[in-house]
Amino acid sequence: MQFYLLIFRYHGIDKHKWQGRVDVLVNNAGISQRCLAIDAKPEVYTELINIDLIAPIWLTQLQLSRMAEAGGGHIIGISSVAGRIGAPLRTAYSAAKFGLIGYMDALRTEVDRTHNIKVTNILPGSVATDVSRNALTGDGSKRGMSDAVIDAGDDPMDCARCIWEAVNADKPEYIYAKEMEMGLAQMRHGDPDTFFNAIADFGAQTVAAYWKEKEGA
């Protein structure tokens, strides 16, 4: 409900008196992770999954009946390429983003034809935001530094425009990624043997770099 509270405050509306319909619900809750599973406290998983998966599910559930009664609507789940490929240093994040895709895919089967509620999964790759700077480390603290790949990512406004085009086209899923990220996302199902070999090599390199960075900290 935090997102609705922000909207109500922004528009100067009393949330207790608001009775309007929701035409488009964008579930964009998200916090990322930059630590190995072996180096992470269990609480990191609880916090990430609560924010990245449970919160969007709750928010969606609270609006489903209202959307159905209004004759339809559109629900958007902002997942990630990491919700398709399982990326190193992001076990909790990938778990939540995989879960969000699963929830939205299953929900679509129930509400698309029956209630005219469209559901779109968005899988962004690298977008130039503070996502890696605010990512959680193994002890639950913020990382405090960004990644070069994120800093070189796409402009958030370009991403937002592409998301809106996908929603207007009623696409069930849209991958917003380029080059290696798009290739891996497509390879995950198109050529799984090659994918798993490639991601294993990448994972080993990432683990080695992680411990080297920790030792030098």
Q: Which residues are catalytic?
A: 93
**Nearest of 177, 76, 183 to residue 127 by alpha carbon:** 177
Look at residues 31, 32, 4 and name the one whose alpha carbon lies nearest to residue 18: 4
H or E segment and range at residue 185: helix 179-190
Measuring CA to CA, how many Å separate 120 from each of 137, 164, 179? 30, 10, 23
CA distance 174 to 99: 16
134 and 143 Cβ atoms separated by less than 8 Å: yes
- Dist. CA 121–CA 197, nearest whole Å: 27
Contacts (Cβ under 8 Å, ≥6 apart) of 8: 14, 15, 18
CA dihedral of residues 127, 132, 134, 136 (deg, nearest 10): 140
Q: What are phi and psi of 19, to 5 degrees?
A: -130, 15
